[in-house]
Amino acid sequence: MDNLLTILRGLTATPLFGVSVTVFAYAIGVWMNKRAKTPLVNPMLVSLLLIIGVLLLFDIPYENYQIGGDMIEIFLAPATALIAVKIYQQFDRLRENWLPVLLGTAVGSAISMICVILLCRVFFLDRELLASLLPKSVTTAIAVSLSEQAGGLVPVTVAAVVITGVFGAAFAPLMIRVFGVKDPVEAGLAIGTCSHALGTTKAIEIGDVEGAMSGVALGVAGLITVVYTTFF
């Protein structure tokens, strides 16, 4: 029995483990989402919870999973290129709405950061946690850099970014209906500003204009957040 466990533990240290677990977990998430037909059962959220559960249940080091996870990250490049293509296809609309894009992302980013500051004060969180949570609505690379520079906790920042993105992707369609947003430009800007790349993947599913505007918003919001953090 011990030999079998040793063999299984060794298999988890191969790229096949991380890739297989991720693919199966996401497939289960998609299946559950289709059956449940509710934004609460988001495939990304389901797969995230399943992967965490497997690692904890079988006491598998995260480093073992990340060996395969690094291979999956390779697909981020073509995914980013897809967003760039969507933006290019909607360039005329973007040129017509450049001022609303700039002002919308600036205001959205400011409100996001102000909410974090107020909540940290309400719950008496220290400055270290404030620095960790402040860039939660921008893409991970920018958020981690800002957190490190401000003396925040990078793991907390990464967790906050992931949670923000997952919930943004899950509830974006619902929020659009609740607030009666009809303009695809407005919808895309709101999604990209609030929930960065993960939200943008959902925006692309909603429509080409929404996906393009969300892609622009996540980039502009990231730059604006960098500027804003210099004042905190």
pTM: 0.77
Question: pLDDT digit string (tens) for 76-100?
Answer: 667 667 777 777 777 888 888 888 8
Q: How confident is the model at residue 28 (pLDDT cuts 50, 70, 90)?
A: very high
Cα separation, 138 vs 197, whole angstroms:
8
Instruction: Tally Cβ neighbours within 10 Å of residue 210.
Output: 29
The 3 state secondary structure assigned to 63-79 is HHHHHHHHHHHHHHHHH
- CB-CB contact of 202 with 213 (8 Å): no
User: Looking at per-residue confidence, does 14 or 56 come out higher?
Assistant: 56
Q: pLDDT at residue 172 above 90? A: no
Q: What is the pLDDT of residue 1?
A: 47
**What pLDDT does 204 receive?**
83
What integer pLDDT is reported at residue 67 of this predicted model?
Answer: 83
Residue-level pLDDT at 77: 65
Q: What is the mean pLDDT of the chain?
A: 83
* Residues 171, 218, 32, 59, CA torsion sign: negative
Indicate if the pLDDT at residue 118 is higher than 80: yes
Sketch the domain layout of the chain as residue ranges. Answer: 2-77, 90-229
Residue 37: what are its φ and ψ, rounded to 5°?
A: 55, 45
- Give the single-character DSSP code of 180: T
